[in-house]
Structure 1
Amino acid sequence: MAKANERSPEAVRADPDSREGRFMRSALSILAETGRTDFTVLEVVERSKTSLRSFYQHFSTKDELLLALIDTIMAESTKHWRTETDALPAAEAMRVLIDRICTPAESTKQDSINRGLTYYNDHLAESLPREYARVLSPLHELIGEILNRGIDEGSFRPGLEVETTAALIMQAVLGAMRLRSLGAELNGVPIDGEHIYEFCVRGLLP
């Protein structure tokens, strides 16, 4: 049986009419309308105009479906962020990357999708930790590349534990996104990319 984590995001994008693609688009459509991930497999199946048997030929659970969806989004986003940051000095590349990750959604539908998937991340990290770590690995790798570039340039301090520091920065950025509204409630100022960059970069400077 083909599982979500056996099919690359590139394969799904290259075959948009595949059953996997139909299920993922149906899940995105529900997320865009509700901003919630408590929909059922049956709702996805009905919207995709397929069958439960077909769904379970490709995904064992709803978690696997959403993991595949996040996998595709993360792979596409990281590819774009790498293109934007490759030619920049490390400090500026880190600023741009954090800013892009934290950029607010441009539509209410995109905001609903982002909100639903952001809060579902914690569940996936607990229920499918190894698979979820693999999904985040492209972003972790990109942050690590920027850190190594900064060390070579002399803009970041030597001796950084790059792998660990990259993981901490990634977690700080993704976690802070959940606190965007809470920051406004706590001190009257919403948390944005610049705040997160300033917090992260303090530990990187010589």
Structure 2
Amino acid sequence: MARAAERPAAQARAEAHADRARRFMKSALTILGETGRTDFTVLEVVERSKTSLRSFYQHFSTKDELLLALIDKIMAESTQRWRADVDGLAGPAALQSLIERITTPAASSTQDSINRGLTFYNDHLAESLPREYARVLAPLHELIGDILRGGIAAGSFRSDIDVQCTAALIMQSVLGAMRLRSLGVELNGAPIDGEHIYAFCVRGLLSPPSPV
């Protein structure tokens, strides 16, 4: 009986722990939406979430870990939606659809601030927490790999593609090129959008046309 009574209590503690972690992530997201910057302090997050420093450090050892958890949540949810969006599409169409969805401009200034802040923080996380950051990107890498394998099986993509490496290169190209939306205007007079990125990525993938 005692053990049965302990289970609901343990579940309640776990739920409370997860709820506090979500509060910290929500506070960080709010600050990002307001400023577009990731140079806020742990104290700012704590004050915004109306908790304590002690509580914060029970969940995250650093601000990097907090932002990594936030990006992990966003990436997992986004990749799940993207996978549903491209399900059933042929290889080239699936890749084009995925790239267009990833690179679609934000629908609001708040979302644009969040995207901008996290995009430029990615480099820092790749340096400071490379293994953990790779785990966060793994669902997107897997989705691109599945698209490539589907295209190879259908004959629309070349059969000699190294799927794992190519998926990583496409993923980095797409995520990195998102920064060029503004810079592209300065470099060549026009922003770089999803269509440009898709054309660049697919050029080395397509199977040559069959001889007549």
Q: Normalization by structure 1: what TM-score? A: 0.92
**After superposition, what is the alpha-carbon deviation per residue over 1:75-133, rounded to whole angstroms, capped at 9, x for unaligned?**
00000000000111111000000000000000000000000000000000000000000
The Cα shift of 1:17 comes to 7.1
Look up the equivalent residue of 2:50 and give its one-letter code: K
Structure 1 residue 159 corresponds to structure 2 residue 160 = yes
Q: Name 1:114's counterpart in structure 2.
A: 115
1:26–1:47 Cα contact (<8 Å) kept: yes
Equivalent residue letter for 1:49: K
Using the TM superposition, give the Cα deviation of residue 15 of structure 1 relative to its aligned residue in structure 2, in angstroms. Answer: 7.9
2: distance between equivalents of 1:82 and 1:15? 31
Cα drift, residue 16 of structure 1: 10
Partner Cα distance (1:31, 1:121) in 2: 14
Q: Percent identity?
A: 76
For the Cα contact (< 8 Å) 1:45–1:52, is it kept in 2? Answer: yes
CA distance in 1 between partners of 2:188 and 2:41 (Å)? 38
- Give the Cα separation in 1 of the matches to 2:204 and 2:195: 15
Secondary structure of 1:186's aligned partner? helix
Q: Deviations over 1:127-157 (max 9, x none)?
A: 0000000000000000000000000000000
Contact 1:78–1:139 under 8 Å retained in 2: yes
Give the corresponding residue for 1:101: 102
Q: Which residue of 2 aligns with 1:5?
A: none
- If the length of structure 2 is used for normalisation, what is the TM-score? 0.89
Correspondence for 2:20: 19
* 1:63-102 matched pairs, under 5 angstroms: 63-102=64-103
Aligned to 2:11: none
One-letter amino acid of the counterpart of residue 157, structure 1: R
Give 4+ residue runs of structure 1 displaced > 2 Å after superposition.
Answer: 14-17
C-alpha contact 1:95 1:197 (8 A) present in aligned 2: yes
User: Residue 50 of structure 1 corresponds to which residue in structure 2?
Assistant: 51
- Any stretches of 5+ residues in structure 1 without a counterpart? 1-13
Distance 1:120 1:15 in 2: 29
Structure-1 residue corresponding to 2:9 = none
Whole-angstrom CA distance in 2 between matches of 1:62 and 1:99: 31
- Which structure has the greater CA radius of gyration? 2
Q: 1:15 to 1:165 in 2, by over 3 A?
A: farther
AA at the equivalent of 2:184: G
Partner in structure 1 of residue 188 of structure 2: 187
Quote how far apart the aligned CAs of 1:159 are: 1.2
RMSD of aligned Cα (Å): 1.3
C-alpha contact 1:16 1:22 (8 A) present in aligned 2: no
